[in-house]
Amino acid sequence: MSWRPARLADLPLALLWTLGAALALAWVPLLPLVARLLPPCPLHALTGVPCVACGTTRAALALAHGHAWEAVTLNPLATVAMMGGLLGGLVAPGWVALRAPLPGSPVGSSIPWRTAAWLVLIGQWIYLVASGR
């Protein structure tokens, strides 16, 4: 992976990320209502086996109530993604303003990155199956 300094051209994307994080935080009071409206996981309902995303809604509800560890136990990957999205959105404009280094695209190394992504997803699924979610 290569790194490059942030440019002024990156600011619209950083502000969009910040807006998304702010909207996610604004929706926190509505999260219990939205969670009740969501259907159950079809794979889990039909087979009893959780999908890779099973527990994401419960993890979001736990995070909304400030129970980070409970969210991690419900769905580690979704919790890391949600927390990373929020924290990244908060710091993105400052990162661009400071011209801090940004990761570039992994040129010539797509197979290791894809392999790592698949291993993370498989590990997540194994964890959910083993924990009986």
Q: Which residues fall within 8 angstroms of residue 88, CB to CB, at 6 or more apart? A: 17, 21
Residue 127 or residue 5, greater confidence = 127
**pLDDT value at residue 109:** 65
Give me the number of domains the chain comprises: 1
Query: H/E element holding 21?
Result: helix 11-26
pTM for this model (two decimals)? 0.82
pLDDT tens profile 33-82: 999 999 999 999 999 999 999 999 999 999 999 999 999 999 999 999 99
pLDDT tens profile 73-119: 999 999 999 999 999 999 999 888 888 887 766 655 678 888 999 99
Q: Range of 101's domain?
A: 3-130
Per the DSSP assignment, residues forming a β-bridge with 103 are 3
Give 50-117 as a DSSP string. --TTTTHHHHHHHHHTT-HHHHHHH-HHHHHHHHHHHHHHHHHHHHHHTT-EEE---TT-HHHHHHHH
**pLDDT value at residue 62:** 96
Q: How far apart are CA 94 and CA 115, in angstroms?
A: 32
